[in-house]
Structure 1
Amino acid sequence: MARPAVIAHRGFAGVAPENTVEAATRAADREETAMIEIDVQPAACGTPVVVHDERLSGSRDGRPLTDATGFVRETPLEALREARVLGTDATVPTLAELLAAVPETVGVNVELKAPGTRERRPGESLPPAECAERRAVWQPFVDRVVADCAAFGGDLLLSSFCEGAIAALRESAPYAAAPLLGDDLVAGLEIARRYDCEAIHPPRNAVLETADDGGWDTDLERDIVEVAHDEVRTVNAWTARNWVQFDALAAAGVDGIIADYPGLS
């Protein structure tokens, strides 16, 4: 059986300042890296920037995420580009800057994190009227992301926990799409089917527990990987933090593994 593709989570966040140009280029230099996963949300002006948390004052293992404060969506672009990440000299990049630095031999998974508003409705399969409303909220930001992606010649996969983002993407461009699945696996599969998504991104424990005994979600009677493969969808699981987790996911038959560290495969 072929080993799963290695997807560098935020540019291998376990060994580099996450979601920075430095992390992405270091990950791209590793032969094992098939794809780099990053998070995007808008600055105050709407420009897509690469950062995970909605607040710049978040933390990682007790270390400040950046030396700035406030919400990303309320912060001017100039201030974001000066915010130093995790005590390093690396700063918050724009999506365009990061993509320009990544060689086109490596794919990029762009996770649409937030549209510039606090309400996101993650993990929900929405009724048509509510979905149309959420798509309209996401559309301006998704259009900006798609525009920035146009210059990148490598493989692109856009993902999100939010149905509104997936719906907006399908209005904007023919890029491959993947819903990120949360606790409700059935809702995630419904979204994948509704938009004919090329992939799904389930959490690690969901893959391992449904593969064992269906214990993650009582409404899903079969292994999530088996269901997705029967529907001809790629399965990229998140997030492996050690080789034991990586090997277990590989044994479960996933196609890609989003990993915090290199060298797990």
Structure 2
Amino acid sequence: MTQRKADMIEIDVMPCGTGEIVVFHDSQLSSRDGGTQGLTDAEGTVWETDRETVTSAEVLESGETVPLLTDVMDAIPSEVGVNLEFKERGNMSWTEFADETLSIAADYDNEILVSSFAEGAVAAVAENYPDVPLAYLFWNDIEAGVEVTDEYDCDAMNVPYNMVQGAPFFSDDIGFDNIPEGGYADVDLVAAADERGIDLNVWTVQSWYQAEQLVQAGVDGLISDFPNVL
């Protein structure tokens, strides 16, 4: 049986309190939204906590700890691309954070795509690293997302899957609380991406049905927790 594999891996990056870049999604090491289950067995804000504490924190009782970016990059085969999502800058400027993160990425042969919800992060990469492929992450405003994409000449638009007009779940509530009153603007993002000659990537695809519908609608990339959604 042929084994499926992903073309790229998306990872969230932020600094810890001593400046090293770690791979972690949330700002807090402890719990999310006041929940009782700890994400790790440590506490504190990631970018206010020293490297030793952050990288010793066990994640969800898995036996695994929060890794440095270098540890993750070491584990990814060179033929697999890496989408570095700039999640938080901590006490750094976005330019300082980009310098630190992309200097690490430069030591590896993997294809790199930088993405972020933060316009400041996109601006810093566009200005200082014009050769690094860049994507703006849309949240709740299609028109504003397209404007940012154009402003910084991005190479891709990374959007929630309910923003794709040609799919049956356009403007549906998919649990992200990201639909403005009145629904999304009447913008065909597949056409917008084609007109600009850039990629349209969608997140977070959870089923083969969603994937099939989105591919038929004309998207270029599927961001999923599962490599076998197609």
Superposition TM-score tier, normalisation by shorter sequence: 0.7 to 0.9
Tell me the CA shift for residue 262 of structure 1: 2.8
Pair 1:37 & 2:10 matched? yes
Q: How does 1:1-265 map to 2 (within 5 A)?
A: 31-59=4-32, 63-116=37-90, 137-173=93-129, 174-207=131-164, 209=165, 220-265=185-230
Query: CA 1:248–1:213 in 2, change beyond 3 Å: closer, same or farther?
Result: closer
Q: Where do 5+ consecutive residues of structure 2 fail to align?
A: 172-178
Deviations 1:65-96 (A, max 9, x none): 21111100111001111111121111111112
Deviations 1:169-191 (A, max 9, x none): 12332210000001111111111
Please tell me whether the aligned partners of residues 146 and 172 of structure 1 are also in contact (alpha carbons under 8 angstroms).
no
Q: What is the distance in 1 between the residues matched to 2:85 and 2:104? A: 14
Mean CA deviation greater in 43-52 or 60-69? 60-69
Letter in structure 1 aligned against 2:94: W
Tell me the CA shift for residue 219 of structure 1: 7.0
Query: CA 1:164–1:44 in 2, change beyond 3 Å: closer, same or farther?
Result: same
Q: What is the distance in 2 between the residues matched to 1:236 and 1:253? A: 10
Q: What is the distance in 2 between the residues matched to 1:52 and 1:219? A: 27
Please tell me whether the aligned partners of residues 162 and 169 of structure 2 are also in contact (alpha carbons under 8 angstroms).
no
Query: CA 1:106–1:160 in 2, change beyond 3 Å: closer, same or farther?
Result: same
Tell me the CA shift for residue 139 of structure 1: 1.1
- Which residue pairs with 1:27 in the alignment? none
State percent identity of aligned pairs.
Answer: 39
Task: Determine helix, strand or coil for the equivalent of 1:49.
Answer: strand
Q: Where do 5+ consecutive residues of structure 1 fail to align?
A: 1-29, 118-135
Q: What is the distance in 2 between the residues matched to 1:79 and 1:92? A: 9
Letter in structure 1 aligned against 2:57: A
Please tell me whether the aligned partners of residues 161 and 205 of structure 2 are also in contact (alpha carbons under 8 angstroms).
yes
User: RMSD across aligned C-alpha pairs, in angstroms?
Assistant: 2.3
Tell me the CA shift for residue 54 of structure 1: 0.2
Tell me the CA shift for residue 220 of structure 1: 3.6
Letter in structure 1 aligned against 2:159: P
Higher relative contact order (CA 8 A, sep 6+): 1
Q: What is the distance in 1 between the residues matched to 2:192 and 2:36? A: 39
Deviations 1:71-124 (A, max 9, x none): 00111001111111121111111112211221111000000001105xxxxxxx
Letter in structure 2 aligned against 1:189: V
TM superposition score normalised by structure 2: 0.87
Q: What is the distance in 2 between the residues matched to 1:229 and 1:47? A: 38
Please tell me whether the aligned partners of residues 214 and 223 of structure 1 are also in contact (alpha carbons under 8 angstroms).
no
Runs of 4 or more off by more than 2 Å in structure 1? 58-64, 209-222
Letter in structure 1 aligned against 2:106: A
